[in-house]
Structure 1
Amino acid sequence: MQQDLVGRYALVTGAGAGIGKSTALRLAARGAIVGVNDLKDELVSDTVEAVIAAGGHAFPVVKNVSTREGITEAVNIVYEKGGRFDILISNAAWVRYQSVLEIAPETVDRMLDVGFKAVIWGIQAAAAVMDPERGGAIVNVASTAALRSAANSIVYSGIKSGILGITRAAAAELGARNIRVNAVCPSAVPTEGTARNRNEERDARRVATTPLGRLGNVDDIAKAIVYLVSDDAGFVTAQWLAVDGGITFTNI
C-alpha cells in the first residue's frame, strides 16, 4: 500500500467502530498519524490497538464532539501532538428514525448537535490550525439520504442534506487557504450503529435494487474517504461522492 500520507496528522471522529474505525486503519496504513475520537474509552482503545497492531500510529482522543468546545479540544489535541494538523474526518453521528408525528425535540437537538453542528465547529477548528502553505483536507460523512429520502427520516435526511451545503460553502471559502473540503454519501452499510434499523427483508430489498448486487461495507467507504484526503484528489474539492453500488441513480 502506498505511503503518501506519511507524517500527516489526522483526526477521525466516531472512530470507535464502523466506518470511523475502518477509516482510521486505512489512514494509518497510508502513513498518517491518527487521533482516534469517540466517547467511550474502550472503543477508542480498541481502534488505537488495532492500528498499532497493523504497524500504524494512532493515539486516543476521548472527547464529546457534539459541542463546540469538545470538537475544538479534539482538534487541538491532535495539533499539539504533532505540531501540525492535516486531515479531519467528520464521521460521528447519533441517529434515530421517527415519523413526522413522533419526532421529539430532544431527538432533533441531539442529532443536530452530533451530526450537523459538530461538522461546522470541526471545520472551524481545523481551519484555524491548518498551515495555509501545506493546506489540508476535510471529509464530511453524509449519506445517500441527502440525495433521496425514505419515510421516517425527516431529521436525518435534513441533516445529511445540510452537510452537503456545508461542504460546498466551506470549500468555496477555504480554498484560498489550500484546504480541500469534500463529502462522501454512503448507502446502507451494516455496522453496529445501523443494526437497529436493519433486518433481513430490508437488506434483501436493497441488494436486489443495487446494480453491484450487494450491500456496501465499512471498508468501501473508508477507501473513498482516504482517496479524497490523498494527493490523488489534490484538485478535488466541493464534491460529494456517492459510495452506494449504484443504487441512488439507477432503477433496476
Structure 2
Amino acid sequence: MSNELHGRVALITGASRGLGRDIAKRLADAGAAVALLDRKAHWSAELAEEIAQAGGRALPLGCDVSDRAALHAAFAEAAEAFGGLDVVVNNAMWTRYAPIPEIDQETVDRMLGVGIAAIVWGTQAAVAAMRPRGGGAIVNIASVSAKLGLPNAMVYCGVKAAVEGMTRSSAIELAPFNIRVNAVAPSTVATEGVRAMLDDATFEARVASTPLGRLGETADIAEAVLFLADPKRSGFVTGQSLLVDGGISIALR
C-alpha cells in the first residue's frame, strides 16, 4: 500500500464491478478508507472483504443511486462510519445502445437517472459531508463520447456531455468551499462489460483507431482518478475533464 490518501475517506458509486471496482481498490491501496456503493449490497460486501484482506478499510453500501433519498442516506452512513468524506467518485452508469428509432422510455429514464440525476444527488451529499472537513475532491466519470459522435449512442453521448457541463458549473460554485470538482473522460475501456457489448469487428476497430494501439485498462483510469483525488498533486486543478483516451480524440483515421 502507498500513502497518497492516508487519513482520507473516499466514496465510490458503482464500485463493485468493472471500472468502479479498480478505482475503489486503487484508492484503498493509496491509504483511503473507502465506502463502496452499488445497487446490490452483497456485491459491495465481496469487494469490501477483498480490500480488508489486503489491509484496507472498506464499508459496503447498497442503494439505487438515482433515488435521491436513498443516496443521501448512504452518504450519511459513510460519513458517520468514517468521520466524514474527502473524495467522492461519481462512477455509476447504466448504459444501453440503440438506433434512434428504437430508443424507448425505460432506456432514457434509467440512463438519465443513473448518469445525470445521481451526479446531482451525489454532489449535494458530498458537499454536506465535505464542508465540515474544510473541502474535498469530487471526480465524475465522463467519457470521450462527450466530444465525439458515436452511432447508436445518442443518449449515452448526451449524458456524458452533461456530466462535463455539470462538472464545470459545480467546480465554480463549490470553489469557495475548497471543494474541487473534475472529471475523467476515458475512451473505450477493456472491461468485461464492454467486451460483452461489442462484437469482434467493433472491438478491433476501436483498437485500430486508437493511436497508442490498445484500449484503455481500468488501471489507467484509476490512476487518473487518484491524481485528481490527491490534493498534493492536483490541489490547483478544478473544473477540468481529463481525457484518458490513448489519443483517439485527436486522431483522424
Give 1:134 deviation, angstroms: 2.6
Distance in 2 separating the partners of 1:106 and 1:204 = 30
Is the 1:133–1:177 Cα contact (8 Å) retained in structure 2? Answer: no
1:246 alignment counterpart: 247
2:45 alignment counterpart: 45
Comparing 189-198 with 210-219, which one deviates more in the overlay? 189-198
State the Cα RMSD in Å: 1.3
Is the 2:207–2:213 Cα contact (8 Å) retained in structure 1? Answer: yes
Distance in 2 separating the partners of 1:79 and 1:50 = 21
Distance in 2 separating the partners of 1:90 and 1:168 = 15
1:233 alignment counterpart: 234
Tell me the SS of whatever aligns to 1:101.
helix
Deviations 1:6-40 (A, max 9, x none): 12111100011111110111101111000011112
Unaligned runs of 5+ in 2: none
Amino acid at match of 2:10: A
> Is 1:13 aligned to residue 9 of structure 2?
no
Tell me the SS of whatever aligns to 1:96.
coil
- Displacement over 4 Å in runs of 4+: none
Give 1:196 deviation, angstroms: 3.5
Give 1:197 deviation, angstroms: 2.1
1:125 alignment counterpart: 125
Give 1:50 deviation, angstroms: 2.0
Deviations 1:99-121 (A, max 9, x none): 11111011100111111100011
Q: Percent identity?
A: 46
Amino acid at match of 1:10: A
Distance in 2 separating the partners of 1:207 and 1:237 = 31
Which residues in structure 2 correspond to 1:1-252 (within 5 Å)?
2-131=2-131, 134-231=134-231, 232-252=233-253
Unaligned runs of 5+ in 1: none
Distance in 2 separating the partners of 1:211 and 1:116 = 30
Tell me the SS of whatever aligns to 2:119.
helix
Deviations 1:155-214 (A, max 9, x none): 111010000000000000000000000001111112233234212211211111211111
Tell me the SS of whatever aligns to 2:37.
strand
Deviations 1:109-151 (A, max 9, x none): 0111111100011001111121356310000001111010211
Is the 1:10–1:78 Cα contact (8 Å) retained in structure 2? Answer: no
Amino acid at match of 2:122: G
Is the 2:134–2:178 Cα contact (8 Å) retained in structure 1? Answer: yes
Give the number of aligned pairs.
252
Comparing 108-117 with 77-86, which one deviates more in the overlay? 77-86
Distance in 1 separating the partners of 2:155 and 2:60 = 31
Amino acid at match of 1:213: G
Is the 1:65–1:74 Cα contact (8 Å) retained in structure 2? Answer: no
Distance in 1 separating the partners of 2:75 and 2:41 = 17
